[in-house]
A = this chain, B = another copy of it.
Amino acid sequence: MTAPTGVPADPQSPDAGPRRRAGRPAAAVLGQDGITTAALQLIGRSGYDGFTMAALARTLNVAPSALYNHVSSKRDVLVLVQDHLTSFVDVAGFETGPWEQAVRDWAWSYRDVFSKHTPLIPVIAVLPVTDAPKTLAMYEAVSAGFGRAGFPQERIIPAIVALESFIFGSAYDVTAPADIFDSGSMAAATPHFTSAVRRLAENVDEKPADVAFSLGLEALLAGLGALRSA
């Protein structure tokens, strides 16, 4: 219905760079790879609040609707980002070193990566591995390590899932405000809790989230390690 103008006027504000005309450009918007890295940049710059399809399109000098030629939903973009981030998780230890240290390195790096991306956790946690090849590769490396370490086959997946659950929950913990346990005016009514919190606050050297993560991880390592036969 709208009168086509052949060369549409650029409606962008003057600060925006020159916008590509319609038609097939040199290499599209760079496809899913380009979208993924652009999304990662945008998230790094503006956080997940500023991460909007419109903002992502602006980053790529493209109209928002153009994104839907390469991706079928915003959730799709999040999945791409998630899978990309997984390649930063350290699984090297599983090929060489002892099981315990391998799990330690893996778990810490896994937590660190996603503590900066907690909005992805609800997505990852229920995502079929088919939709995330790099994540699948990570599972393969970890599974192989568990097998080599002498885990019975039927315990490998449950053990990994248990560790992952702990990791995801702990990633949230990293982002919690420092005063999350400050009971404020209710302190008198909660003596045991309040005194325990005070003791925790006395330790100024280590971050509370790291203390809790270390404690839980070492407990899991000891408990799960006992399942090995070798």
Contacts and interface: CB of A to CB of B under 8 A. Distances in A.
A213 B137 CA distance: 24
Interface stretch (A38-46, A73-81, A199-207): A199-207
Which of under 10, 10 to 19, 20 to 34, or 35 or more describes the interface residues of A? Answer: 35 or more
Contacts of A196: 143, 146-147, 153-154, 156-157
B195 A153 contact: yes
B125 A173 contact: yes
Contact of A219 (B143, B191, B195, B220): B220
Interface stretch (A17-25, A53-61, A181-189): A181-189
Contacts of A175: 125-126
Contact of A169 (B157, B165, B182, B185): B165
A4 to B, nearest CB: 38
Given A169-B169, A192-B140, A212-B165, A183 B219 contact: no
Given A130-B182, A157-B208, A165-B212, 6 more contacts: A118-B122, A126-B175, A126-B177, A140-B193, A158-B200, A158-B212
Interface of A: 118-119, 121-122, 125-130, 133, 136-137, 139-140, 142-144, 146-147, 153-159, 161-170, 172-173, 175-177, 179-186, 189-193, 195-197, 199-200, 202-203, 208-209, 211-213, 215-216, 218-224
